[in-house]
Every structure is written in structure tokens, then in C-alpha cells.
Amino acid sequence: MTTKMTPKTPTPLFIVSMLTLDITEEGLQQVDVLVRLYKHSCSWFLGPFYHLVRVFHPDYVKPLLMAPANITVKDELIYDHLRPWLGQSLLISSGVEWARKRRLLTPAFHFDVLRNYIATFNSSANTMHQKWRRLVAEGRCTLELFGHVSLMTLDTLLKCAFSYDSNCQESTSEYVSAVIELSDLIIARRQKILHHWDWIYYQTQQGKHFKRTLSVVHRFTREVVQKRRAQINQRTGENSRFSSPPRRKSDFVDILLLSKDEDGQSLSDEEIEAEANTFMFAGHDTTASAICWTLYNLARHQNFQETCRQEVMDVMQGRDGDDIKWEDLSCLPFTTMCIKESLRLHSPVQAVTRRYTQDVTLPGNRVVPQGVISLVSIYGTHHNPAVWTNPDEFNPLRFDPANMTSRSSHAFIPFSSGPRNCIGQKFALAELRVVVALTLIRFNLTFGGEGGVRRLPQLVMRAEGGLWLHVDTVDQ
Ligand code: HEM
């Protein structure tokens, strides 16, 4: 016998928090209450429109995230506002269209491609740290991390996606300002229920501003792709049978321009623009959030910070410069454990939502009926006391391989899982390790605030009023 997931009676507080998508510290604490109460999932009707199942136990998360991509649809409640910016890209599309794009884009994230980006990760981090050194020398030792780190991840992505040196960490870039503004405008739109309808939103000042900002971003991407296409066409003309790679190291746009599906079809310029915009959106804030929270957690746990620093210094011993190399990444096991624990405790993405075109069966013969929105709570799963002992405690030893054998494969899902998992996770983890390692050998980090910060779960996990750390240069 199967049981359809039926709604539990929600309290008004929970309904309000769903409509505002938990964008406060209190919203997160309400999730903690739900998780302790229900352990696996709960299910609601939200007004007349939505029936929503919220899942936060690995046993239930697994069948939902591992469901075949051809029955999985990205839900409009969360993703529709991104469509004007990202178009029908990998993040948003479904079915056959998604499968074709995923096949064409996967080579862009192969290890052989990623290892070329290590130099860029180092140089972007160096620029940020030079700024920090200047600020420390001026006596401004307490820094708001998100501002600095977001510019650095944008700088990196612009170089890796477009080979474009924006110098955005040192001076204002119109494109970078527009990308930051678009994310802020999308958050603001989500919080106003009436703005969810296009025909209202685009009449408002905010909606008009969104359109103007969008045109800056789209113009930039279009110009890069068109210019690059022209260069490739010119090279193929010179060498009539083959499209040869560029003389500089390939970036994402080059790889997408040269990729072909089984029928020999390549992505159109519009499709490449959509994917490039998606990399910028999906890759900069998420990675910045992960870096900032890792540094924050290490600032609050000096013993772990010191162990990581020692580990990095051991790797760098006897070297002339202090660049992190690709081969070094696998020699930083404890630092990687701290990064993973931080991704658990302060997961940049709090949830993913899905609908399924068929019923999905969960353990105990429970069924999520087709069409129902499933909200897979990454935050809830990572804070579930039925899965993690003392879930609010920062304890990197959870990720010691000896302590991981009995844990479900779906207990730790910062990058989601299954066919629609994050295509950029190896890129992100490599950048995280480089930036965290370089930061620790150059700076001591301390947190002065009492009792921690108030978390701000927006598009990614941030901190209310910013994330402020005290930064001192390490004597070398
Ligand atoms: C710490 C950093 C990152 C985190 C925590 C993260 C997390 C996620 C999550 C949870 C998803 C699933 C979204 C969903 O199903 O709705 C996702 C998908 C995706 N991510 Fe990431 N991400 C990170 C970095 C990146 C980077 C660096 C890139 C690209 C350069 C990227 C590109 C994408 C794309 C294109 C998808 C859609 C994949 C698909 O549907 O096939 N992400 N990411």
C-alpha cells in the first residue's frame, strides 16, 4: 500500500516564512524546528495554488534528487525570475533540451580544463590580498569579507569564462556592478509578492531598473561571444577543414563555441550567451559565500585555523614563490575537511525545488504525487539531528574518511546530487582550496563579535550587516 504525502496543518508563521522564502535568521530557525519535529519531511498546501513537500532527510532526498532527469522539471516558483537574465540555460531548462546542453557543457569542466584555471585562482586571490595588505597597513584591519571576496570570484570567472581582465577588484566595472545589482534586484523582487507577476513588476521603478541593468549584462556577453565567433570563423577560413583552438589558453566560451553534439550541431550564439550568463550567476555568489563562511568558521576556531595553516606551510616548504599548484590541492586533506564542514554548516544554497512528471516513491511506500513542488532542503538535511550529532557545531572531523563510512551518500549535498547536480563543483572546490590556503599563509583571522552573526539566507547564504573579520598579516 502506498501513502500520498499529505499536508500537515501549518502554523501561520510557517506560511509566512515560505512566502518570504525564509530570508531571515528566524526563517532558518523555523526550519530547525520543523526538522526536529518531523525528521524526514513535511508537506503543506500554500493557499489555493501550491502543494509543497519539504524534504530534509537523506532517505527521502535521495530518490528525489536521483530521479531521472527526463521526469524532473525545475519549478517556476523559484526559477522564473531568473529566466530574463539566464534564458533557457542549463540551470533552468528541462528534458531533452537540458540533456543536450549538459552533454555539450560537461567537457568545459573536465579536470584537464580546470587545471589551467589554477593560475587565475592564484592571481585573483593575490590581487585581493594586496588590497588587504594595503588596508591593514593603513590600520583598517576589520574587513567585510563578502564585498572583497565577491569581487574576487567575479574577477576569476570573467577571466575563466571570457578571458576578460576587468580589473574589477581595483576599479569599478560597469558589467560587474550590473551583475551584482541584478542579484540584488532578484532578491528584492522575491520579497514582494505583487512583483511576482511580470505585468505588475515591469511597471514599477524596480522592474524598469532591472530591464536597464539586464541590457548592460546581455550587451557585454553578446559582444564577447560575437567577437569570439568571428575570430574562430576567421581561423577556420585560414585552415579550411578544422576549427583550431585559439593561441591563448581556452576559456569557457571557446570550449562552448567549438563543442558539437552527436549530430554535429553546435550551440547557437544565443545559447552560448545564456550559458555564459549562467556561469557568472551560478558561480560567483555561491563560491564567494563558501569562501567567506569557511574563513569565518576558521576565525572562530583558532585551533583548526592553525592546523590548516601548518598544513599549507608544509606543502609550500622550500618553494620560491607561494603559488598553489594543481598538484597541491590533493595534499590539503585537513583544509578540505574544514571547507566541507563549512559547506555543511553554512551551505551557500539552502534548497532546490523540483516538480516531477510522474509519481516518485520514497521509502515506506510514501509517494510524492506528480506535479507537486518538492523542496529539497539542503539546509534542513545538513542540520538534521537524526543525521548529524550536534549539527550546529563546527567539527571538520566529521569529514575524516574514518568517520564517514556509516553516513548516507545524501547527508551532505551542498552541490545537490544526481543528474541535475552542480556542473561547476570541481571548479568551485579548486578555487576554494586555493583561496583559503593562500589566505591562511598570509593572514591571521579573528572574529570579534560576540555570539556569532545573524545569517541572511538570500539567493546564497550571507550575513546580516556583512561578515566582518579582523585580519592581521602573518609573520613569515
Ligand atoms: C560553492 C560553490 C557552488 C555551490 C554551493 C553550488 C551549488 C549548486 C546547486 C545546489 C545546484 C543545483 C541547483 C538546482 O538544482 O536548482 C547547482 C547547479 C548548477 N551550478 Fe553550481 N554551485 C557552486 C558553484 C558553481 C560554479 C563555480 C559554477 C560555474 C562556473 C556553477 C554552475 C552551475 C550550473 C550551470 C548549474 C545547473 C546544472 C544543471 O542543472 O545541469 N556552480 N549549483
Q: Residues 345-361: what's their mean pLDDT? A: 94
* pLDDT band, very low/low/confident/very high, at 18 (cuts 50, 70, 90): very low
Q: Can you give the pLDDT at residue 241?
A: 45
Nearest-5° Cα angle at 366, 362 to 370 = 80
Residue to mutate (ligand 1; options 93, 253, 286, 410; most atoms within 8 A of CB):
286
What pLDDT was estimated at residue 17? Answer: 40
The confidence score (pLDDT) of residue 164 equals 83
Q: What is the ipTM of this complex?
A: 0.99
Contact 81, 186 (CB under 8 A): yes
pLDDT in tens, 105-126: 999 999 999 999 999 999 999 9
Residue 157 CA: nearest ligand 1 atom is 30
Supply the pLDDT for residue 425: 97
Q: What is the mean pLDDT of residues 184-212?
A: 91
Of the given ranges (38-52, 133-147, 341-355, 412-426), which has the lowest mean pLDDT?
Answer: 38-52
**425 CA distance to ligand 1 centroid (A)?**
7
Write the residue with the smallest CA distance to atom 31 of ligand 1. 424
CB neighbour list of residue 84: distance below 8 Å, 6 or more residues apart: 210, 214
Averaged pLDDT, 421-442: 97
Cell reading at 394: 563546527
Average pLDDT, the chain: 89
> Does residue 2 carry a pLDDT above 60?
no
Identify the pLDDT of residue 14.
Answer: 41
Q: Which atom of ligand 1 is nearest to the CA of 428?
A: 27
Q: Measuring from each residue's beta carbon to the nearest atom of ligand 1, which residues come in under 6 Å?
A: 90-91, 102, 278-279, 282-283, 286-287, 290, 348-349, 352, 414-416, 420, 422-424, 427-428
Q: What is the largest CA-CA distance in the chain?
A: 70
Q: What is the pTM of this model?
A: 0.93
Any idea which of 101-105, 201-205, 229-233, 358-362 has the lowest mean pLDDT?
229-233
Instruction: With cut-offs at 50, 70 and 90, classify the pLDDT of residue 240.
Output: very low
Neighbours of 465 (CB within 10 A): 11
| Closest C-alpha to 151, from 129, 118, 135 | 129
Q: Is 160 assigned a ligand-binding role in the annotation?
A: no
Is pLDDT at 460 greater than 50 in this prediction?
A: yes
Query: Is residue 201 over pLDDT 80?
Result: yes
